[in-house]
Amino acid sequence: MIYEAQGHRIDLSKITRLYPAATVRAAGEVAQVSLEWADLKGDQVPIEAYVLVFDFDPIGEEPKQRIELVYKTKEALIAAMHEVAPLLER
């Protein structure tokens, strides 16, 4: 199944990991953190964006082949997750 978003054509049959994250900047560094962490610390560390990460490398290997879809709000990220979820069930 192919999912198209933000100019990407993503073959969902080839993903090995799929997860949401928040992008934060702290002490001059940019990092991706879990949504749970972002909810707990969002008032202390500014959230720059939300991302839906599609990894294609085998489990256990360092992920190098990935596509990240970027969203301005958590609500937009969750809407995208609702679009992808039914496609994975097919």
Residue with tokens 């496609």: 87
**pLDDT given at position 7:** 96
Q: What is the pLDDT of residues 49-76, one digit of tens each?
A: 999 999 999 888 888 899 999 999 999 9
Q: What is the pLDDT of residues 5-56, one digit of tens each?
A: 999 999 999 999 999 999 998 888 999 999 999 999 878 889 999 999 999 9
Torsion 27-31-37-39 (CA) sign: positive
Domain boundaries, the chain: 2-88
Q: Sort 29 into a burial class: Cβ within 10 Å, 0-12 / 13-18 / 19+.
A: exposed
**pLDDT given at position 31:** 92
> Which amino acid appears at position 47 of this protein?
I
- pTM above threshold 0.75: yes
41: left (phi over 0), alpha (psi -120 to 50) or beta: alpha
**pLDDT given at position 90:** 67
